[in-house]
A and B are shown apart, each in its own frame.
Chain A
Amino acid sequence: MKHLDTKTLSALHDNALPEAAREAADAHLALCERCRAEFAALADQDELLPPLLEHDPGEDYFVGFAERVRTRIDSGVKPVAREPFDPLKWFDSPRRLAMAGAVAGVVVVAGVALIVARTTPPVETSRAKLGQRVNQVASPESSGALGAARFDTASGAPAAGPLGDAEQLGEPAAASEGAASGTPVAGSASETAYRAQESARAYEVRRNAQGEEIPVRPADEMKFARPPAPAQPAPAPAPGGGVYAPKQRQAQPMGGAPTPQQKSALTRESDRTAQDSARPAGERSLASPTPSPTPAPPAAGRREGTAELDRAAGLVRLCGQVRDSRGRAVAGAQVTVADLGIGATSGPAGDFCLDAPAGMHTVSAMALGFKTARQLVEFVGQHATVTLALEPVEVVRPPAATQVSPPAPAATGTVVESRDLFRALPDTIRAVVAEAQLLTADAARDPTGRRYDAAALAWERSLAQIGGGPGELQARFRLAEARYFAWRVAPTRRRGDAAVEALTAYLVRASAGEYRARVVRWLDQVRH
């Protein structure tokens, strides 16, 4: 039997229950002795209270009561004197104490959130991330024989596609092809071949408002608006006056968690880069054709006040220049102190500055088209200087030879694929291709089936734009490659069918060569 609770008994005693509830309670009381006892105790308690709490002051008291009230109203006196405010006693109330605690908690949480928000690096856009990854893939260290070797390992997806390194570097793909196949690197020491290589690397030359020649990479065109139309016809490039396409990269930690001082230096460096990015593309990212004999002011836009703070914090400022083997400034080179994860990007005159704790550190410089240079530098005193010389990347064959000599019929497929035929495409199509390249590089860096699917879709879009024009075979190989690795990383029936279709579409168009042979092997794997 479920007994009546106190609330019901209390309300029943006060005759405050609804009719139905009251009848039910009465019926229960008639049967339940325990509840009857409870109810009786409740009634007894209530009966005892009034005489205990009641007091009759007598009629005399009430005779003059109204008059006393009136006097009190007229006088405005408050007999119930309030005590003076005591801040400590204010917290005697549990409610006030809880309120104060809640306010304090909110303040602490807001403070922590503010601190965390201020120390969190800004979020990059996905395209910026992709571009950054492409640059990392395309760095000279990973684009050589090592990158190609990784491609052929049976452990999984390649670090980069067989063509990707060369394409993204802007190099004739014969370089990576040669490296991949293990063929000896042909000599390119002759000055003529080197100049031809530099000319091939200069992509396209435009003229800015000052009439200066400025090389433009496809990636630059994709990311930034076309510069204003030249005021006068562009003169032919001076012989041997090749300029280097700069690599737009953010400073990347090379390993280990940076110290707060290093983070500070990195943050200021990215501020400087951001300010640099805000300038027009022609001013920001393109190398000056005239090498600056003296270093530019260190890190334009950087506040001297913060530099002083760094020095006060025990950091040594290293300023220097990045130059090529002929002494010309290399703009956009990525200079890093690898063991500390501190980095900077060289300016238009090849100059850079970075702050690091005192001691011996290995400073490396990387730039598009150059081998990575490393130099042990002692950070001592308040300032240190260094000049980093970059050697150009060697190629299998001089581009001029590739252009002049018609490829042998047996190697047609390879040669056609090796050259970056996408450069000949209109800007709008090249932007689509560039996106496909970025997605491919992204998938190669972090291989998942979905990433390769996305890359394949981008290559399909590119193919739709290219049609039967130049670069079709190259795009088909990329599409087949993306479809194959999507299936290899995450095999499904759908991916297998798509891979077979793409690989077959390439094979029916490709001539004999290494890439065709590779596709044949892939197709065989998918089918079996």
Chain B
Amino acid sequence: MPRRKTDIEPAEDETALVLRARRGDSVAFGEIVRRYQRAVYRVAYGYTRNTADADDLAQETFVNAYRAISRFRISEPMFPWLARIATNLAFSLHRRRKRRPESSIEPLLEAGKQWGVDDDPARHAENRERESHLAEAFGELSSEHQAVLLLRVMEGLTYDEIARALGVPAGTVMSRLARARTDLRARLAKRTGESK
């Protein structure tokens, strides 16, 4: 699967940017934000599946990154580190939302915008129903399963990068991904069977 981080430029001078940001250079940190803003937003949206929360989560990810930039290890890639911050924030948000569930309409409406144009109304309806079920099934997954699928399927991170982003061993990423996919498929099958 091709990497989706097409908006991230090669990090020739990323080390210099980080060093400058550590010294309080807001311009350098602004450049880091511009490099990773789209990728971080995608992750944020994948976790929240609504634009308001995605915006808030993406911005908060960079704010936390700025505060913790001194702890970033320059030898490692930047995005897994940012993804970890976003994941932690998303998990925290998810825990709060579990106690206070919100309507599932908004994510579906947001998803509906992406369903695109389809010339065949019947096929469009079928696809829309299937994607609706898939979105609901994905939303029912645990936070850990959502995160590992998101980082792998959406962002195309390697197992090692996902391991760094989630703070778990690579072997755990492999088994967790398998379980996440199995769980998602089972939930989708259950919904498809229920609808028929």
Contact = CB atoms under 8 A, between A and B. Distances in A.
Interface of A: 5-7, 9-11, 14, 16, 41-42, 45-46, 48-55, 57, 61-62, 65-70, 72-73, 78-80, 83, 89, 92-93
B138 A80 contact: no
B30 A70 contact: yes
Contacts of A70: 26, 29-30, 33
B149 A48 contact: no
Nearest to B150: A53
B185 interface: yes
B99 A92 contact: yes
Given A65-B33, A65-B37, A72-B63, A52 B131 contact: yes
B100 to A, nearest CB: 8
Given A6-B181, A11-B178, A51 B26 contact: no
Q: Which 3 A-B pairs have the closest CB atoms?
A: A10-B178, A7-B178, A66-B33
A16 B174 contact: yes
B51 A57 contact: yes
A54 B58 CA distance: 14
Interface majority SS on A: helix, strand, loop or mixed?
A: helix
B60 interface: yes
Nearest to B149: A49
Given A7-B178, A45-B181, A46-B1, 6 more contacts: A48-B130, A53-B135, A53-B138, A57-B54, A65-B59, A69-B66
Contacts of A48: 130-131, 134
A457 to B, nearest CB: 62
A5 B178 CA distance: 9
A54 B46 contact: yes
A41 B51 CA distance: 30
Contact of A45 (B33, B63, B114, B188): B188
A62 B38 contact: yes
B110 A55 contact: yes
A10 B152 CA distance: 11
Interface majority SS on B: helix, strand, loop or mixed?
A: helix
10 contacts: A6-B178, A7-B174, A11-B174, A16-B174, A48-B134, A65-B41, A79-B60, A80-B57, A80-B93, A92-B99
A457 B153 CA distance: 82
Interface in B136-159: 138, 149-150, 152-154, 158-159
A68 B59 contact: yes
B191 interface: no
Given A55-B51, A70-B30, A79 B181 contact: no
B188 A80 contact: no
Contacts of B54: 55, 57
Contacts of A51: 114, 116, 131
A49 B29 CA distance: 32
Nearest to B130: A48
A54 B59 contact: no
A364 to B, nearest CB: 72
B154 A54 contact: yes
Contacts of B60: 72, 78-80
A68 B26 CA distance: 12
A10 B37 contact: no
Contacts of A92: 98-99
Nearest to B31: A66
Interface in B100-154: 110-111, 113-114, 116, 130-131, 134-135, 138, 149-150, 152-154
Contacts of A57: 41, 51, 54-55
A69 B154 contact: no
Contacts of B185: 41-42, 45
Contact of A80 (B29, B89, B182): B89
